[in-house]
Amino acid sequence: PLPEIHFATNNFDPKLLIGKGGFGNVYRGTLRDGTKVAVKRSELGLGQGFLEFQTEITILSKIRHCHLVSLIGYCAEQSEMILVFEFMEKGSLRDHLYNSDFPYLPWKQRLEICIGAAQGLDYLHRGAAGGIIHRDIKSTNILLDENYVAKVADFGLSKSGPLDQSQTHVTTGVKGTFGYLDPEYFKTLQLTKKSDVYSFGVVLLEVLCARPAIDPSLPREEANLADWGIMCIQKGTIEQIVDPVLAGEINANSLRKYGEVAEKCLQEEDEERPSMGDVLWDLEYALQLQQ
Ligand code: ADP
């Protein structure tokens, strides 16, 4: 069973704050046995949803995969909620793409990170848990451990209500982030596994051109990365969007294959998008072409 971890909850040291997210503040912490952890703390509390929350985290704690950030414990009360995750030493993919305080990632390593994240997501979609839709894939939610192994974070905890294993799509409580959100959602108001594939396609573009999914400072046709990226790929001018620092090291065949994968993921119609398993195969091929 998932350990219930007890904290002196009124006693979080601001020096240990790593960041702020949708759920609440995230702190660095250490368990008694020395294990480093990330502690997510929300002061919103659970109110009536206490039992559902417990069921949900029990399911989540059983999901173990080398490319998914593990939930290792929790503490829940009516007025406070704390989730304890394995600590991801190197921060997020987003940090490495846009923040110059973080080391530059070479192309081969970027491909390996995308492949790792694709493996994690493929497992979630097909896994023993019966198929879970992430609903908020973005570069902030792809974290890196001390060896730069990518792990997908923030899955499963729906923002409005319990995770229902029998559901193949989620109709309530959209979690997605603007710029990554499946265009089909606006027609159907449903998120599916193929919505995750779309969001992953946006991440693939971010990895290639090191600019955010939405950049309002750019001209209208370039402001939305998905639209701009797909236009360049279709015109055969993918080279135009590649980050200039990366351009020198990417093999042309690897780039072409990678562009094809991103294009398939970003199809308007969700049936035309590949499964995460197919995306994984294609990315592995793009890596082979680079070697
Ligand atoms: P969001 O809700 O926006 O996805 P999170 O609450 O997941 O954000 O995370 C906020 C910040 O905490 C991020 O900058 C992320 O890098 C960091 N963080 C989250 N989880 C971990 C973890 N397991 N290990 C290390 N850092 C983490």
pLDDT attached to residue 58: 76
pLDDT attached to residue 282: 98
Atom of ligand 1 nearest to the CA of 140: 4
Length of the chain: 291
Query: pTM for this one?
Result: 0.90
- How far away, in angstroms, is 217 Cα from ligand 1 center? 26
| Nearest CA among 139, 131, 175 for reference residue 157 | 175
pLDDT attached to residue 159: 40
Give, using CA atoms, the residue closest to atom 3 of ligand 1: 21
Ligand 1 pocket check: which of 25, 26, 158 to mutate, most ligand atoms within 8 Å of Cβ? 26
Pair type for strands 71-77 and 36-42: unpaired
pLDDT attached to residue 60: 78
Q: What is the pLDDT of residues 222-245, one digit of tens each?
A: 999 999 999 999 999 999 999 999
List % helix, strand, coil for the chain (3-state, nearest 5). 40, 15, 45
Say which residues have a Cβ less than 8 Å from residue 106's Cβ, sequence separation at least 6.
249
Pair type for strands 80-86 and 71-77: antiparallel
pLDDT attached to residue 40: 87
* Neighbouring-strand partners of residue 214: 224
C-alpha span between 13 and 15 (Å, rounded):
5
pLDDT attached to residue 19: 86
Give, using CA atoms, the residue closest to atom 17 of ligand 1: 19
- With contact defined as beta carbons under 8 Å apart, do 267 and 278 qualify? no
Ligand 1 pocket check: which of 12, 16, 18 to mutate, most ligand atoms within 8 Å of Cβ? 18
- With contact defined as beta carbons under 8 Å apart, do 56 and 13 qualify? no
Atom of ligand 1 nearest to the CA of 138: 4
* Neighbouring-strand partners of residue 68: 152
pLDDT attached to residue 165: 41
Tokens (6 digits) for 149: 């192994």
Say which residues have a Cβ less than 8 Å from residue 75's Cβ, sequence separation at least 6.
4, 5, 6, 7, 9, 81, 82, 84
Please report where in the chains the tokens 């402001």 appear, as a residue.
223
Give, using CA atoms, the residue closest to atom 23 of ligand 1: 87
pLDDT attached to residue 163: 40
pLDDT attached to residue 48: 58
Tokens (6 digits) for 164: 């229902």
C-alpha span between 228 and 151 (Å, rounded):
27
User: Model ipTM?
Assistant: 0.95
- Please give all residues whose beta carbon lies within 6 A of any atom in ligand 1, as ranges: 18-19, 21-23, 26, 38, 40, 69, 85, 87-88, 91-92, 140-141, 143, 153-154
C-alpha span between 265 and 49 (Å, rounded):
35
Please report where in the chains the tokens 């950049």 appear, as a residue.
215
Ligand 1 pocket check: which of 92, 142, 146, 178 to mutate, most ligand atoms within 8 Å of Cβ? 92
Please report where in the chains the tokens 């290792």 appear, as a residue.
72
- How far away, in angstroms, is 235 Cα from ligand 1 center? 37
End-to-end distance of the chain based on CA atoms, in angstroms?
Answer: 44
Task: Show the low-confidence residues of the chain (pLDDT under 70).
Answer: 1-11, 44-52, 78, 128-130, 156-174
Give the catalytic positions in this structure: 136
